Amino acid sequence: MLNIKKGITVLGTKAVEFIRYIGALTIFVGEIGFWLFHPPFRFKQVMRQTARMGASSLPIISLISLFIGMVLALQSAYQMQKIQAEMYIASLVALSVIREIGPVLTALIVAGRCGAAITAEIGTMKVTEQIDALETLATNPINYLVVPRFWALLISLVTLTIYANFIGMVGGYIVGVAKLRIPHHMYIKMTFEPLRQSDMRNGLYKSFVFAIVICIIACFEGMRAKEGAEGVGKATTSSVVRSFVLIIACDCFLTALMYFIGR
What span, in angstroms and rounded, lies between the C-alpha atoms of 81 and 179?
A: 13
98 and 203 Cβ atoms separated by less than 8 Å: yes
Q: What is the mean pLDDT of the segment spanning 120-132?
A: 88
Report pLDDT for 3. 73
Report pLDDT for 241. 94
Q: What is the pLDDT of residues 177-191, one digit of tens each?
A: 888 888 888 888 888
Q: Residue 119, Cα to own-chain centre: how many angstroms?
A: 14
Task: Assess whether pLDDT exceeds 80 at residue 11.
Answer: yes
Q: What is the pLDDT of residues 76-94, one digit of tens each?
A: 887 777 777 778 888 889 9
Closest C-alpha among 109, 121, 33, 114 to residue 67: 109
Q: What is the pTM of this model?
A: 0.89
Q: What is the pLDDT of residues 30-83, one digit of tens each?
A: 988 888 888 778 888 888 888 888 888 899 999 999 999 999 988 888 777 777
Closest C-alpha among 256, 228, 227, 225 to residue 239: 225
